[in-house]
Chain A
Amino acid sequence: MAITGKQRSRRIDRNYSSSLDPSILWKRRFGWAGLIFGVVYGLWLLNPSAAKQLSTGTLSKAHHAWNETGCDKCHAPLSPIKTTSVARSPHAIAQNNQRCNACHKMADHYPTATKLAVQALESCVQCHHEHLGANHNLLDIADESCVRCHADLAQFVEDANRPLSKVTSFDSTNGISGHPDFQGLIRDPGTIQFSHTQHMRPGQSLKTGDRSAKTWDSLPLGFQDQYQKPNNISDPIQLTCSDCHERDHPIAGYEALEGPNATSATNSLGRQTNAHVLYKPVEFSKHCEACHQLDLPHKLDFKDQKHLLDIVATSQQQRLARSERLQSTSNPSESSVDEENRLRIAGTASGADLVGLIKENNPLAKTEIFKTYACSKCHQPATDLASNNKLESIVAPSSLPTRWLKKASFSHGPHINVQCDDCHKIHLDSNALSSNDQNHSITTTTPSESTPLLGNLASDVLIDGIQGCQVCHIVDEAKRKEAQLAGVKNIARADCIDCHRYHDHGPKGTATGL
């Protein structure tokens, strides 16, 4: 039976709207409940014990204990901790930094070179981001932390007139120049005369096939075990990098490659370590003396004149005796080494003269010793050698840096899978050892017009420049893919923090917190 709208309306009470609909009732109830819960929860948050609720995220492992102790350990109340905060102020940042410095005694970053106003706005949390979870590494600093200043240092340093590099990235991207060349590799400050090319030649001869080539059996017995024994002991001895360059920390799994009897292998064990940073300085007694035996101790003590006189007199007697013996047995077939010794002795003071000079405490004594004992073969004379009698050494300091990149923290350990000659380019003769022959591979390079012949001169810096690093260390994603397609195996990141330390700028470093 159909009912019209009019009929239907007649059946509705006119006062129906005064009755409360249950949905409205429940809406009010829920609304009040939400209001009450929100107010109660908000009031509870004012309680210090509830401060953890307000944390914006779990603290890293380093600060994990303070997840429970409230915010005031690190946050100064009503002081924005971030330098990017709208309400930042030097006073607020200083207050918060003090809380960090209470535990972390960190050096400022070039405090004398940086403007005070800039330093006042530097906050610890600008680079070290907290509240990003327990596994977040606080030392994983993004490049932007450095680039925000180093993109244009002139705004931040006191002396803006000096040459300042603008660095935005390690590699050049989109026409913006990248990291400048390494300043530490511009020249070799060393004073030692040494040819890598000659020493990597079989027998370390002056020329390939020279009869003066050293053989294993010609080495003194005490040194023979130090070098790899060839199949034929009368063959010229072949040095490897590790014969002279020892790691500062042995790497597990590489023992077989370090010893004198190292076997042929490729260094692809995949064991990277941060323990091995640099190579130890070359020592004469360990790495040179097998071939270069001296008549005097390598480091003479000039303070004890009596002792000096004794050893010089003794050595001079031995040298004169040997000289006489050589002269009596001399014939055209003598080796070039003996010939060289003979000429050297003939051109220097006689034993009686040298002893006399020492007795007289004559300043010329040191000059004569320098000439007589062939110090000049490797060393340069000390400054004022002839006039200054108080010199403790007759040779100039070697000045060979053990750490070439002084503004970076290069470590060899992570680069263990890279061939030595990938970074240390040395021109070798074609019959020198190749990568297939030895553990520390030195590939034979063919000199070309564009490639300088490195390694023959002592002044050659045998460390590749930044171009060598940029083969593997690539920032730009597109370039990384290109390199991958080009067959580069060890593609790596190139973050600023990989090489540089913000708090370590002194000669010895002050990175106590790292």
Chain B
Amino acid sequence: MLLARKMHLHYGPIALASLLILGGGLWQYSLGTNEDPASGSSPAGLVVGSIAAGIILFELLLWPRKRLRKYKLGRTKFWVAYHLWLGLACGPLAFIHSGFRFGGTFTTFLMALLVLVLASGVFGWVMQVFIPRWMLGNLPQETIPSQIDDVSLLSALENRQMLTVTLGPKPPNTGKLVVLDDQLDALKSGRSLPSMTLDPTTPAIQKSKAIVVGALQRRDPQRVSFGQELADDLNASDRSEIWKQYTLVVEPFLLRNVISKSTQVASRSPIRNLQGAQEWFKNLQTSCSDSANPILIALQSTVEQRLQFDAQRMAHAWLHRWIAFHAGISVMLGVLLLVHIIQSLRYM
């Protein structure tokens, strides 16, 4: 982001400041001699070390700043810019402070922590630059990550409603649909989705309930009219086959992570990737009459949407999971830095 959005003019000064700080540190180190190398306790080492420690403590302020954002302590993009560029400078400064030695166990551990923090930070920086750009081009149906399961559930409900309207009630011997009452209630009340179970006594969603749920969808005239036009053109074989394939393959795939059992089914699903899904739907179209194509295309669209959600979930993980590691070791580094300062004052 910082590199891609042509923010050089904004971040140039801080990058330059970081380079100047780094250059100053190197200059301080060069003042050391073989006899008196720039170690942590020398004036040069102490100056450089203090700057590095100050930067580390400043970096940690990003966390409280987030908590205190209501006080408007500067714009986020500038905080992030300072965090990144000063953070990059602090690594070499710490090495200069140590005289390019790792020292003993504690200082080595401290330095290893710093390296890990820097490495994870740079990794995250790269991820934040490239992954959003990739998502923008490849995941047009991107949604809010925490709502992926909810949206998938709604897709499943929409599909049920569409099939109920276009194909009629689900025929017997075409599998068992999942009971989604609790999930629907949760959705309406804004709670998280409870797990679902298969209920043999409820073969299909009732039309009245589907309409209630479809209250959202009733504002989608395209979809409603789509179901009514197809209703009379389909034969019994198509209706049975589509219901069957939807119940056994499509819906478990859409409701993966919503229904515990469906996750296992989905992992072996023939539509678990885009190529497989396209081939599978092509075969299904072949086995059904041409009249069923609009329905199958609609189902394929929801499956492809779900595949994009999966890719988004993966991208989201790459984009954010490193932060947990980065934050954890950063806090540890901050605490141990204080220990290092206290011990150094004792024996420096």
A residues at B contact (CB < 8 Å)? 1, 3, 7-8, 10-16, 18-19, 21, 23, 26-27, 29-31, 33-35, 37-39, 41-42, 45, 52-58, 71, 75, 77-78, 80-82, 84-87, 127, 131, 142-145, 147-148
Q: Are B103 and A56 in contact (CB under 8 A)?
A: yes
Known A-B contacts A1-B301, A23-B324; A54 and B35 likewise in contact (beta carbons under 8 Å): no
CB within 8 Å of A: which residues of B?
A: 33-36, 39-43, 46, 63, 101, 103-107, 109, 141, 143-147, 150-151, 154, 187, 190, 192, 216, 219-220, 222-223, 297-298, 301, 316-317, 320-321, 323-325, 327-336, 338-339, 343, 345-348
Residue in contact with A144 in the complex, picked from B34, B143, B325, CB distance below 8 Å = B34
**B328, A33: Cβ atoms under 8 Å?**
yes
**Could you jot down 29 A-B contacts, CB within 8 Å?**
A3-B141, A11-B143, A11-B147, A11-B150, A12-B143, A13-B150, A16-B144, A19-B192, A23-B316, A23-B320, A29-B324, A29-B328, A30-B324, A31-B63, A33-B328, A34-B329, A38-B331, A38-B333, A38-B339, A45-B343, A55-B106, A56-B103, A77-B346, A77-B347, A82-B41, A85-B41, A85-B348, A131-B103, A143-B34
Is B34's CB under 8 angstroms from A142's CB? yes
Once A7-B220, A142-B34 are accepted as A-B contacts, the answer to whether A13 and B147 lie under 8 Å apart by CB is yes
Residues of B close to A35: CB separation below 8 A: 331-332, 335
On whether A11 and B35 interact (CB within 8 A), knowing A16-B147, A21-B145, A82-B42, the answer reads: no
Closest residue of B by beta carbon distance from A72: B347
Residues of A near B297 (CB, < 8 A) are 1
Q: Given A14-B190, A85-B348, does the pair A52, B329 have CB atoms closer than 8 Å? A: no
Contact A56 B104 (CB under 8 A): yes
Decide: B106 and A53 in contact? CB cutoff 8 A.
yes
Considering the chains assembled together, what is the distance between the CA atoms of A35 and B143 in angstroms?
A: 34
Main secondary structure of the interface of B (DSSP, over half): helix
| CB-based nearest A residue for B219 | A10
Q: Given the complex, which residues of A lie within 8 Å of B33, measured CB to CB?
A: 142, 144
Q: How far is the CB of A349 from chain B (nearest CB, A)?
A: 68
Residue in B closest to A7 when the chains form the complex, CB atoms: B220
Q: Is the CB of B42 within 8 A of A31?
A: no
List the B residue with the shortest CB-CB distance to A56.
Answer: B103
**Which one of B106, B154, B338 has the highest number of Cβ atoms from chain A below 10 Å of its Cβ?**
B106
CB-CB nearest in chain B for A74: B347
A34 and B331 contact, Cβ closer than 8 Å, known pairs A23-B320, A45-B339, A57-B101: yes
Max chain A C-beta neighbours (<10 A), residue from B41, B216, B222, B320: B41
> Apart from A8-B141, A23-B320, what are 5 other A-B pairs with CB-CB below 8 Å?
A30-B327, A31-B331, A52-B105, A56-B101, A78-B345
Q: How far is the CA of A95 from the CA of B287 in the complex (A)?
A: 94
A55 / chain B contacts, CB cutoff of 8 Å: 103-106
Min CB distance B43 to A, Å, is 6
Q: How far is the CB of B174 from chain A (nearest CB, A)?
A: 24
Q: Are A145 and B35 closer than 8 Å at their CB atoms?
A: yes
Q: Is the CB of B34 within 8 A of A27?
A: no
How distant is the Cα of A145 from the Cα of B35 in the complex, in angstroms? 6
Q: How far is the CA of A82 from the CA of B40 in the complex (A)?
A: 11
Tell whether A84 pairs with B43 under 8 Å between CB atoms, given A34-B331, A142-B33. yes
Residues from chain A with Cβ under 8 Å of B150 in the complex: 11-13, 16
Which 5 pairs show the lowest CB-CB distances between chains A and B? A38-B335, A30-B328, A144-B35, A34-B332, A55-B104
- Give the residue of A37, A58, A78 whose beta carbon is less than 8 angstroms from that of B332: A37
Of A23, A41, A80, A82, the residue contacting B336 (CB under 8 A) is A41
Once bound together, how far apart are the Cα atoms of A10 and B331, in whole Å?
A: 40
